[in-house]
Every structure is written in C-alpha cells, then in structure tokens.
Structure 1
Amino acid sequence: MRSLKIILLASAFNGLTQRAWLELREAGHVPSVVLFSDAEAVCQQIEDSPAALVICPFLKDRVPARLWQDTRRPVVIIHPGIVGDRGASALDWAITRQVPVWGVTALQAAEEMDSGAIWASHEFEMPTSIRKSELYNGPVADAAMACIHEVVARFGSDFVPQPLDYSLPQVRGRLQPNMKQSDRSFSWEDDAELIQRRIDAADGQPGVLAELLGEPYYLYDAHLDNRRGTPGQLLAVHDDAVLVATGDRSLWIGSLRCKPRPGEETFKRPARHVLAGRLDKVPTLNWSVASQPYCKELYQPIRYRELGGVGELTFEFYNGAMSTEQCRRLVSALRWAKAQDTEVLLFRGGRGSFSNGVHLNVIQAAKVPGLEAWANIRAINDVCRELLTARQLVVSGLTGSAGAGGVMLALAADGVFARSGVVLNPHYKSMGLYGSEYWTYSLPRAVGYERALQLSEECLPISVVEAREMGLVQDVGPRCPQAFGAWLMAQAQRVAHDPLHAAIRERRRTRDVADMERCRDEELAQMQLDMVQDRNRFSEKCRHFVLKHPVCGTPRRLVAPWANSAEVVSG
C-alpha cells in the first residue's frame, strides 16, 4: 500500500481528529492538520500543499467552494449520520428519537452541506441511555475511523463515489433542521427518562435550557434517581450535584451553565457551585464508600466493590475534570479502600474520559483563579500519593482518553491497562504548565528519561498501541466498554500471581518514596511559578480553553514537514 499525504481539515484537534491522525500514521500515511480559522488562509495552505486527499473528521465550518471544486484532490466530510442524513444536529435527533440504528457517512464536500457523493458508510446499533459526548467518542468515533480507512483504501483505485439518491430504499436518512431549544424543552412534570434523554442529547453543547429556583440555566450531566417530590423541587444535594423532582421520579443534575446576558460569556460549572448560597434549606446527602461500601444509590461518582481479592474503585467525573473538592473526596475513598483486606487495588474510570487533570472551569470561575489552580494541583497530587504508597499492588484502568495530569494519575499505579482506541496526551506545556502529579518520577520510570522528555516537549497525542510499545501501558483490552470492564477485572485478579505480570510486581517492590517526594516538591515549586505567578500565560490559556475561543491558526507541531507554510502559529 502506498503512503499518502493527507490533510485533516478540522475545527479543532479534538479526540476524533487526534485518533484519525494517529491511526493514519500507524497505517503508514503522513497526515498533516489544518485547523479552520480564516477561510482564505485555509484555502491557501491546502492549495499550496502536495496533499493527495483532504479528510474532515470534525468540521463545523462550511468547506470553501474553491476547495471542493478543485479536481486535484477530493475533500471528504465525515458526517455523524446514516446515509441521507443531513444537518448539524444529527446526534441530537438520533438520541431524542431513540433510533435503533445509527451510523457515520463519508461523503464528498458539495455546495449543499452533507449532500455530496458517498465514499463509505458504517452503521451500528444505537446504545440505550447514552449522552451525546459518550456516543460521539464511542460508537460514532469507531464508525468514523472505519469510514476513514475505507476512504483511504478506495482513493486512487477505480472506485467512484455514489451520488446521494433518496429514491433508493436503503437511503433512510433525511435532511433535518438544526435542533432548537424549543425542540429540547420539557416540563419538570414529564417523566425522568424523557428529561434525561433531552439533556443527554444536548450534552457538551448547547445544553438544555430549563428553570431551577426561578432562574434559567442550561443543564448537563443527568442521572436517574428513585426519590419523589413536587416536580421542579430541589430534593437534595450530594457532592457537586442537585436532585430535582420530576413527574415520576427525580434526576441528579451534575453541571449547570447560567444563561448569559447580552455580551456575557458563561460556561459549565458543578451545579452546587452555580447555585451556591441558594441551597441552605436543601438536605445534603453525604454517603461515600467509607459510610456505605456497597452503596445502592443510583448516582455514585465514586464507587467500590470487591471481587476475587481485588478492590475496585471507580471514579466518574464529568468530562474527566477533577476539582479540588473531587480530589479530596477521592483521597478519602482511596484511604478507605487501601485499608481493606485485598491484594490488588484496581483504580479505574467510568464512562467518558478517564481524567484530564485539574478542573479548568472551576479554576476560571474562582475569585483568584491562580490560587484555586494551586489548591487543585496539590489536591490531585495527594490522589497520586495515595496510589503510589498503597500496600496493595495498584492497577489503573484507562476506560477512556486521558490528558496531562490524567495520564500521570494513571501512571501512579504499578500497572496500567487501557481500552482499545483510547488516546493519551502525556504533556502539559501547551497549557503553559511545567507539569505535576509526580510525572518526573512516574513517566521516566515507565518509558525512560529520553522518551519522557520527548513526550513532554513534543506535546502530541499517542495511541494506546504506541503507549504499549514504549511501556506506558502494560496491555490493551477490548473496545466494548462492558467487555473491557470484564477483561480489566480479570487482569487485576491475575496481577498478584501471574508470571506475565512479574514486571508490575517488581515495579511495586522497587519504588523509591524519597525520590517520589523529591520529584513532587520540585514539580510543585515550578507549578507555583506557572499557576500563581503566571510565568507562561497559563491564566490566558485557561480562559481561552474554558470559553472555547476559536483558534487563530494551526500549531506547528501538527503540521507535517511536507505541508509547512507560513500560515501556522507557534506552540
């Protein structure tokens, strides 16, 4: 198979774009990224390049006509819908309508959006009770990658993309309008499952606008509960979430965003933070793994179980962000779990991301963001310390993608097992940070000093296949979340005795507590300069990230040598 020069044209270097970049490289191709900023600049970069093919894995902008009309290279859009589906709200409608089967289509860019000739399509059974971000990063991303590989395989052959023909019976999709808030609206007297589905369908963006305590908020992160009350009434607070009564049961709402006033920018924050000062009369429920080890509560951000000598601690924080308070709760849970009579402690994520480190939204909302960042980084360091000093053998389970401190959090374990398709970003520098979470101890210990330095300086994602080859993870398990959970537990149960896992046991035996603490102290000294004194513009980068400010160009590190041009930014 010949190697192709491929441009990935995207609105952001998001999880799917990163996965496409990684898998195309692993397949022997040479991808380069162009982030959509100014249309003229984007056209110039692509037209001046020797790229054979342009693939758009995540593009919210319209492809300029001069690009798709250029016969020198096809421009292929990856659309998250079945053949014939068109419009920007494909996943929102699919979740809202509870369709049994959905898919992804690769189609040629054309004048009308999503109407071009079809290069490839892949369908999947639609999971039940799934939020949009989880659907996008799971079945949709898997189908998208299958389409991308098929497009690349067909390019240069005698394959001819098939025009979209709505008269064919197999073309089930249709042009759908952009979903409006009126399409998402609900009454608190509606059933809890209907309301949850509306919130799930708007996960990420834009959220569902509803009223709480007489004020309008965008709602995110909904979880069912069986308690009952007057519809719309706040029944309880637990951790960061508030419990709202519905027509039949109730829902935990984990995150809110204030409806912005004209000219105002707002962003998601933990619900309890947003409603602070208005919850004094709302009961607080304080269960934890320490107070209720085998808790029957439906909503459990941190939960624990034991099976075959393994204590499994699962933490599930929305979007993988870990605030100071969440880290402190996790420290308490870990201390309790470490005191149990188990040989192995399995530390794993839940649905969605494993961890992306500190909670930038909470930091940005603080009165003094730098001081909150400083508290947050020390708190997540305390989580790492609990893992590094456990009596048990500790295994991390990367159920989802991880970035920055989230990768180093996993590396605080003796062994790391990852789910197939997960993407890792083991670096901090692009956020203006030196890095912490014992990374100067754990990362060189896993991959060697030279590779650790390379990973920290290049600021590029790596696949779990690469991570296994370099020693960052010990093995890679099934892509299916349920199958991975069973596989992960089986691995953890074998860690203490299986000869294949001798390296994990040796890593625990040779840990150096004094060296760990020296690394922590040195890292925190650097992080204080970055977070409190802002020596590398962390505060600006944090603000841009939280407020989702558009990019002004493509970072040089994402541009392949063959695609070099003047229209990139440093970083």
Structure 2
Amino acid sequence: MRILLLCHSFNSLTQRLFVELEGQGHSVSVELDVADSVCEEAVALFRPNLVLAPFLKRRIPASVWRAVACFIVHPGPPGDRGPSALDWAVLESRPQWGVTVLQANDDFDAGPVWAHASFPMREASKGSLYRAEVTQAAVTACLQAIERFEHGRTAGAAEPEPELRCADGDGDGDGDGDGWRPLLPQSARRIDWARDSTARVLARLRSADGQPGVRDEMFGLDCHLFDGHPATPAALAAVPAAPPGSVLARREGALLRRTVDGGVWIGQARNPLACGDGPAFKMPAAMAFAAQSAELPLLDVPLDRDAQEWGEIRYRELGPAGARVGCLSFDFYNGAMSTDQCRRLLAALQAVRRRDTQVLLLLGGRDFFSNGIHLNCIEAAAHRPDDSAADESWRNIQAMDDVALELITLTDRLTVAALRGNAGAGGAFLALAADEVWAHQGVILNPHYKNMGNLYGSEYWTYLLPRRLGAAGAAALMQQRLPVSAVAAQRSGLIDRCFDTGALAFEIEATTHALALAAAHNLAERVARKRHARDTDEARRPLAAYREQELSRMHRNFYGFDPSYHVARYHFVHKLPHAWTPRHLAVHREAAAGSAERA
C-alpha cells in the first residue's frame, strides 16, 4: 500500500514505523504537520491508501480524513482520550497501559478502534516508556490495523471487533466515565518538598520528563526539573542532615535533593538565568546552576558498585577467570555525550583496560546506545563569557574521537557493542569502533551526520565504515539520511547480529553470548588476528591521518562561513517548529519536483 506518515516530528516512534512498514513492502512517505493546507497538498501529491499519524499535536483536518482513511496512534488503551495520556498514566502509577489505533473523525480520540496492544508499566520516565513499551505496542497495533485495513475495510468502517470494544468508554472496565483527560497541568505535577515522599516526587518528575518538566524552584530561582533518580541511604549518609528540598551534593552533572523520606538525584534542569538573554533550554542540572552548585560536595562513586547507586557510568564483571566478560554501561540522558561525559567514559575505558577480561561488552544506555556530541551543552557554551558554541563543539568532537580511539586500539581482547537502544550520528560510529556490533530487532540506527546542518562527522567513520560496507556502500549510507532498522543493518553488514528478541530480554541474551565468546576455544587466535589486522591497517594509513582529515572538515562546519550546523543545532535545542518537510522524507514532494523539472 501507499502509506503517508503524518507527524509533528520524525521522532523515534515514527522512525520505527517507517522502517517496519518499508520492511513489509509498503511505499512510505512522510509529511510533517505544518499546516492544514500542507497536509492536504501531501495527500493530493502522494495519493495514499492510508494516512497513519503516530505523533501529532493537532487534529487532522476534516478535508483529509473525509477523503482518505486516517489512523491515529494514541498512547493509551481503548477509551482513553486526551493529549496527556502517558503523562497521567505515569503520574498515577498505572500498573497496565496500552496503545490504541483509531480512525480519525469529528471527535477527539474517539473514532472507531482498529487495533490495540497493552503492556505492563515499569517504574521509568515517560520518555523511556515511550521509546520502549509504547513504541513496541504501537508497532504491534499498527501492523494489525493495517492488515485488517488491507483485507477489505474502508474509510468510515463499522464498529471495531467485539474484543476491542470498551465496557465503559475508558478501557479499564471500572465504569468511571468517558475516559477524557485534559492536558496535564503544572498544578498536578507540583512538588511539595515539605510533604511529598520520594516515590511521589519521582512520579511527578517521570510524568513530565522530556517535556514539559516540573516547574519548581532551586536556590530560590524559577526553573523546570527533569530526569529524577532515587538516592540511596549511602549517598544521603555522606552529606549533612538538611530540611526537605535542600540541595545537598552533586554527581556527574546531577544534583542531590532531600525529600521527606530520602532524596532524589535531579539530572536535568531548565533555568532561564543560565541562558542569558536567550530562551531557556534543558541542560545538566549542575550546569544550569553552575555558580550555586560549585561549592556543593562532590559524591563520586566507583565504576563497580551496587546496582541501586545512581551514576551514569557503571561496570561489572561476569564469568570465571580466563573467560571473563567486563560489562560497561554509559547511560547518558537522551544518548548525548558532552565533553565531560566523554572524558569520564575515556577514563572508565582506561581503567577497564587494566582488568583481566577476555571480552568487553559495551552496553551504552538503556534507551540509547549513544547519539554523539551533546548539542544542548554546546548551545550552553554560547551563553558563557569567553566561550562559544564553536569552541565547545571542537572540544566535544575531540573528546568523542578520544573514546573511539581507545576502543579501536584495545587489541588485547575482543570488544562488542550491544545496542540496547537506538544509536545515531557519532554514537552509531562509536559502536562500530568495537569488533562486533549486536542489537535487538527494535533498534533503529541513524548512521549519518548530514541532518545536523550537513556535518561531515568524525569518530573515525572514514576508517570504520568502509571496512564493513566498502567505499561505495559507505558513501551511499552517508548520503541517504534515513533511519536503518537493525534487521536491515545486519543484512547489509553494518552490524554483525540482530537478535530476534525485545529490549528487555536482549541484555540477558547479549551477556550470555558474550560469556560464550570469552570461553571459546579459538579466542586467543581471534585476538591475535585482530591485533595483526590493526597493525597492518596502521602501517597502511595511520589512524591519526583519518582523524586529521575528518577534523579538518569538521573545523569548517564549526568555524567556517557556512552557518548551517549552528542554525540546525539552535533549532534542535530550542525545539523550534518545522517550517517544511525535508525532501529525503517527503518522497512525494521530491517526485513532484522531478516531474516539474522534466516538464
């Protein structure tokens, strides 16, 4: 079928549906929801059999849904209605939630239900749930709805199957109304530090993660808070007693704040004063309150520690002597890696290098393996005296390169990058610095840089990528600018293994396979071949030459006359609305432009 994806932005869910639908042989094009007239024009150009809307912030115009069947992906069970479905579910600690695919009509979120899928809720932020459970449920429900549509249903179809109907309208069978929930206001998210328990504080922070954050005060200043993690008794015992709401310490960019029965680490904040005269944007909490937090005690933690003790980088070892696996995770917020985070990860790799292990398993983060340089921290540098976004970009890419170099030159053991979550830009190429790359079937890769203002890219991609795809394949991949599924990535040779499993089971399977790799009879032979290949490659062309060539191009991106990168970064950080759909997504517009040129 011809399926038009209509969306507010090409987010993680939309990308996953894009690759899944293309993988099933559908012809897919994308239109960003800029205006009703633009949507109408996209339908006229593409002539879709179906419009699928995974992520919208406005209603589809009647002129469109009356002309073609339009399926809305709602992040709630059948009967749930409203713009803050997942926010309310996280805030209220619902044990079960779901995704519904319904047909657009005159009523908001109330059209005929075509399919739905449910999942158990875990204690996690809204964003983490959205990228994992919600996305997987949406894929399941969308594919089911599309299959039903293909088998004879038309726009304005009859009532959904009996098993999809709701007894009371909100899908939970408790007869409590029609399921409409309004936009979740800040008044419902407000934290009362003098009374709220740690669990209650975390529920508020998690329900508002990503956007809009929880409006609050820190150090007497208005701000928005994000990214909450529970503090352990050990962390609280390391600082003096203080009243609830007090900010006690800092760790890896986060700030520790007391609650009535414990404490929470606040990872991210939006503080208008940190941005000078410009609009406020999210950044690490300790950076957002740099002057106020500078004197707070620094609570560092060892790499190998109790699982409950929060920190961004963690290490553990598994297996017997002589067949040991070191597992290194680096769970950076949204997968972005600032200069400081890269330097801490490099130090961790250097420490791990001294351990007697046979395989190093790089686990990245739960939601993202890595997404490359930290654009928000780079933007923050533009608001600091005697600094600039260009200078911080340069420091950040150099630090990323140092991490990649450490992995490439780790030749006394095997290294495996296990992608628990998506990887993009420099983060995708950081994974390729390992000997093998494994992923599960839900992972999406964006192994290119051009979408960020035509960045050239570094992380030794000019060395790493042709080794896997050849020169022509590498050039084609870097030009196409589209997401790649893990299944397609394995098929092309970009990654080595795609496990037929979900995100929750993948880490266990990856660890099991890494242990088998460490105990393999030919391990020493494989390591010897790896070392020989690296020596041969270095003699042919040193890694320093690849880095110099890549960075010369990046220097032009950062400091040259073309401001495309700085403009794209500013738009990304400040979440400015799109004015048009890029042509690599809107293939219907590319085709129309080509026809016009031929005419």
With the shorter chain as reference, the TM-score category is over 0.9
Residue 57 of structure 1 aligns to a residue in which SS?
Answer: strand
Residue 386 of structure 1 aligns to a residue in which SS?
Answer: helix
Please tell me whether residue 393 in structure 1 is matched to residue 414 in structure 2: yes
The alpha carbon displacement at 1:518 in A equals 1.5
> How high is the sequence identity, in percent, across the aligned residues?
40
Please tell me whether residue 183 in structure 1 is matched to residue 191 in structure 2: no
Match of 1:528 among 555, 560, 565: 555
Please tell me whether residue 138 in structure 1 is matched to residue 160 in structure 2: no
Please tell me whether residue 198 in structure 1 is matched to residue 211 in structure 2: no
Match of 2:251 among 238, 242, 248: 238
Residue 368 of structure 2 aligns to a residue in which SS?
Answer: coil
Residue 354 of structure 1 aligns to a residue in which SS?
Answer: strand
Q: Are the counterparts in 2 of residues 361 and 546 from structure 1 also a CA contact under 8 Å?
A: yes
Match of 1:537 among 557, 564, 570: 564
Alignment of 1:456-475 (within 5 A): 456-475=478-497
Taking structure 1 as reference, are residues 504 and 531 closer, same or farther at Cα in structure 2, changes over 3 Å only? farther
Taking structure 1 as reference, are residues 46 and 169 closer, same or farther at Cα in structure 2, changes over 3 Å only? closer
Q: Are the counterparts in 2 of residues 393 and 505 from structure 1 also a CA contact under 8 Å?
A: no
Aligned equivalents of 2:531, 2:487: Cα separation in 1 = 24
- The CA RMSD measured in Å over matched residues stands at 2.4
Amino acid in structure 2 at the alignment position of 1:510: A
Aligned equivalents of 1:262, 1:380: Cα separation in 2 = 28
Amino acid in structure 1 at the alignment position of 2:481: C
Q: What residue in structure 1 maps to residue 353 of structure 2?
A: 338
Count of aligned positions: 559
Taking structure 1 as reference, are residues 506 and 80 closer, same or farther at Cα in structure 2, changes over 3 Å only? farther
Amino acid in structure 2 at the alignment position of 1:249: G
Aligned equivalents of 1:377, 1:32: Cα separation in 2 = 33
Q: What residue in structure 1 maps to residue 372 of structure 2?
A: 357
Amino acid in structure 1 at the alignment position of 2:226: Y
Taking structure 1 as reference, are residues 66 and 263 closer, same or farther at Cα in structure 2, changes over 3 Å only? farther
Taking structure 1 as reference, are residues 64 and 263 closer, same or farther at Cα in structure 2, changes over 3 Å only? farther
Aligned equivalents of 1:468, 1:247: Cα separation in 2 = 50
Q: What residue in structure 1 maps to residue 423 of structure 2?
A: 402
Alignment of 1:38-77 (within 5 A): 38-70=35-67, 73-77=68-72
Q: Are the counterparts in 1 of residues 80 and 170 from structure 2 also a CA contact under 8 Å?
A: no
Please tell me whether residue 13 in structure 1 is matched to residue 10 in structure 2: yes
Taking structure 1 as reference, are residues 553 and 505 closer, same or farther at Cα in structure 2, changes over 3 Å only? farther
Q: Are the counterparts in 2 of residues 229 and 246 from structure 1 also a CA contact under 8 Å?
A: no
Alignment of 1:126-525 (within 5 A): 126-127=121-122, 129-159=123-153, 160-162=157-159, 168=168, 171-172=171-172, 174-189=179-194, 190-225=196-231, 226=233, 227=236, 229-258=242-271, 265-289=279-303, 293-294=304-305, 298-308=309-319, 309-367=324-382, 368-390=388-410, 391-431=412-452, 432-477=454-499, 479-496=501-518, 498=520, 506-507=529-530, 509-511=532-534, 512-513=537-538, 514-525=541-552
Q: Are the counterparts in 2 of residues 425 and 461 from structure 1 also a CA contact under 8 Å?
A: yes
Taking structure 1 as reference, are residues 44 and 312 closer, same or farther at Cα in structure 2, changes over 3 Å only? same
Taking structure 1 as reference, are residues 434 and 116 closer, same or farther at Cα in structure 2, changes over 3 Å only? same
* Alpha-carbon displacement from aligned partner over 1:126-153 (angstroms, at most 9, x marks no partner): 22x1101111111110111111111211
Q: Are the counterparts in 2 of residues 478 and 487 from structure 1 also a CA contact under 8 Å?
A: no
Residue 78 of structure 2 aligns to a residue in which SS?
Answer: coil
TM-score normalised by structure 2 residue count = 0.89
Aligned equivalents of 1:506, 1:16: Cα separation in 2 = 40
TM-score normalised by structure 1 residue count = 0.93
Q: Are the counterparts in 2 of residues 45 and 565 from structure 1 also a CA contact under 8 Å?
A: no
Q: What residue in structure 1 maps to residue 26 of structure 2?
A: 29
Q: Which moved more, 1:157-166 or 1:363-372?
A: 157-166
Q: Are the counterparts in 1 of residues 335 and 365 from structure 2 also a CA contact under 8 Å?
A: no
The alpha carbon displacement at 1:520 in A equals 1.1
Amino acid in structure 2 at the alignment position of 1:185: R
Taking structure 1 as reference, are residues 397 and 161 closer, same or farther at Cα in structure 2, changes over 3 Å only? farther
The alpha carbon displacement at 1:563 in A equals 7.5
Aligned equivalents of 1:185, 1:267: Cα separation in 2 = 20
The alpha carbon displacement at 1:560 in A equals 3.2
Q: Which moved more, 1:509-518 or 1:118-127?
A: 509-518
The alpha carbon displacement at 1:496 in A equals 4.1
Amino acid in structure 2 at the alignment position of 1:90: A
